[in-house]
A and B are shown apart, each in its own frame.
Chain A
């Protein structure tokens, strides 16, 4: 018999907590447990991990039994473009060595594209303004150790 999920919101939340709880509780198996007198690195996380699993089960089963409102639909456009732009920024300042200028332009353009009223003109202008001001503020003003262009050092 198929069980009908009555409140997807609670069920999903419960599931999420179960997964996280299991990651921590099972992950703790790799570390020495110790005793209450000399707590090992696994002691606290495994206690909390199993607590989280229990709470997750309660929340999820509540979601099975009690009627509740469905969660709002995922806004894929905003989600993917914003998070994507952040990851691209990370790659550009990190492993790709693209420099701060490229990273700034990329994140502003990409995240702007994720909005619902994107225009090229505005995106280009704001990327120039924001890049100039953040290079000025963070690199020249505050002296944070950024590489500005891929070739600079």
Chain B
């Protein structure tokens, strides 16, 4: 366990060192940052517009709803709802999609505490102590602490984006093709290392994703690759079809097979009073702070951030607790820490996306797709060319986090009602919305067939122990990587050494190699498997 933390700390340190190195090289002169204060004012003016406020609300509401409903995750939901955002202007569209994501990471805790069902994978840990608290008639305080912890973590996450966004974006302006290519390699390697499950399978899934992303017309030669004579395929495979197939249909088929039903009324813990006791609050302060710190770090790193953040926080709290025997029997620390961690991670994972234009996980990969549909190329230029979008999104995240607390504690009753909807009534509707979503991407049935195909593929991939998230990440990065590789080699006149002679690029490749090497060491590999498989007993 400790070794993994060491590895991560090392990784962060090295990344920071290479960033600092780049900082010395200077910043571009043509962009003047108006200062944090003015930026935030701009952000809040945008986010408090009635339309943006409304879509922020819709986003967090939907997000909480799907967080509560087991069997549908944020990836499938965002993919499903993308067609709704086609007709919207970019700002409300992205605000809503972001809201769905962090809303879901919040909503998952409700089911975890009340019925021992993790609505989202990030809430698996919350089940352990949260449900026990529920059994002891203390569901209310557990929910309240989860809400407070999440809000605090969300606030810190938002502040961090506002603070570190501009310098990171300025740094990214310095990046050439070689740096971008190496950064993507680093991102993908780190995503594998921090993914759950087998490392080599995760790498294979990423490569397969990169390859699938290349299907379609090659921008340089105009040649249609791997289209097999199907005209729709010359435009490439729609990322919505991939996401819906692998995270929507494959998941539904898996659930049907396990005959996973939703809760009936008797299983749901009753909520008596929401007020935590003084003792609860005192016990939770430490875990919330530590959870937030862990969450922010894992959020920035690629991989399945929220899940790993929550697991790490739980393990840490248990390890440093003076009374570890209380864990698993309703310790409030086991709710406060992980819930803060997963919410902090859900915020800070926007940092690489908004500043560098690099997605670090499946949901962020979808956000790239959503931005592209809106005609925005993700990257550092978003902040300089569309400051209203960048700062508006940041401000809306904070507002959204506030809405979650204010709305959800009183709405607990409503969420409990949702929980009692049997799965058999739910999934045909999910299938239908997924199909409509896939169809409306290009108004072509081809995307629907592709989604079915990816459903089949995703079903067997999961059965054979391959995670779908790395594939989606690779899929979005495929064309970008090829383009940057091509450009870098053009600049260097075909000399591959460009990747190691430029210091930042070399640094990032070094870190990637080091990370891979580290995980391949038998002793660390064992630890990694322990950590990632750990059912936190």
Which chain A residues (59-109) contact chain B, with CB distance < 8 Å? 59, 62, 71-72, 74-75, 77-79, 82-83, 85-87, 89-91, 93-95, 103-104, 107-109
- Which secondary structure dominates where chain B touches chain A? helix
* B509 lies within 8 A of chain A by Cβ: no
User: Do B425 and A122 touch (CB < 8 A)?
Assistant: yes
Q: In whole Å, how far is A50's beta carbon from the nearest beta carbon of chain B? A: 10
Instruction: Specify which chain A residues have a CB less than 8 angstroms from the CB of B461 in the assembled complex.
Output: 13, 16
B418 interface residue per 8 A CB criterion? no
Return the contact of A41 from the options B223, B435, B455 (Cβ within 8 A): B223
B431-472 vs A, CB cutoff 8 Å, 1 = contact: the mask equals 111111001100111101101100110011101111000000
Considering the complex, give the chain A residue whose CB is closest to the CB of B205.
A17
Q: Give which listed residue, B223, B257, B429, B466, contacts A78 with CB less than 8 A.
A: B257
Report the Cα distance A41→B217, complex, angstroms.
9
Knowing A39-B485, A55-B203, say if A93 contacts B448 (CB, 8 Å): yes
Task: Judge if A149 is at the interface, Cβ distance under 8 Å.
Answer: no
Q: Does B489 contact A (CB under 8 A)?
A: yes
Contacts of A90 in B (CB 8 A): 435, 439, 445-446, 448-449, 452
Interface residues contributed by chain B, number (CB under 8 Å): 67
B38 close to A (CB within 8 Å):
no
Among B220, B455, B463, B495, the one with the most A-chain Cβ atoms within 10 Å of its Cβ is B463
Q: By the criterion CB–CB under 8 Å, are A78 and B256 in contact?
A: yes
Query: In chain B, residues 478-497, which have Cβ atoms closer than 8 Å to a Cβ of chain A?
Result: 481-482, 485-486, 489-490, 493-496
With A37-B494, A55-B200, A138-B436 as contacts: A71 and B428 at CB distance below 8 Å: no
- The smallest beta-carbon distance between A91 and chain B, in angstroms, is 7
Residue positions of B touching A, CB distance < 8 A: 83-84, 87, 200-201, 203-204, 207-208, 210-211, 214, 218, 220-221, 223, 225-226, 249, 252-254, 256-257, 259, 422-425, 427-429, 431-436, 439-440, 443-446, 448-449, 451-452, 455-456, 459-461, 463-466, 481-482, 485-486, 489-490, 493-496
List 8 A–B pairs whose Cβ atoms lie within 8 Å, in order of A's numbering: A10-B465, A13-B201, A41-B225, A75-B256, A79-B459, A83-B249, A86-B434, A111-B427
Assuming A59-B200, A142-B87, what are 17 further A-B pairs, CB within 8 angstroms?
A16-B460, A20-B208, A24-B214, A37-B489, A55-B203, A59-B204, A72-B257, A75-B256, A77-B256, A82-B249, A83-B249, A90-B445, A94-B444, A107-B435, A122-B425, A123-B428, A138-B440
List the 10 closest A-B pairs by CB distance, nearest first.
Answer: A94-B445, A75-B257, A37-B494, A78-B256, A90-B448, A13-B464, A41-B218, A90-B445, A36-B494, A86-B452
- A: which residues have CB within 8 A of B? 9-10, 12-13, 16-17, 20-21, 23-24, 27-28, 31-32, 35-41, 44-45, 48-49, 51-52, 55-56, 58-59, 62, 71-72, 74-75, 77-79, 82-83, 85-87, 89-91, 93-95, 103-104, 107-109, 111-112, 114-118, 122-123, 126-127, 130, 134, 138, 142-145
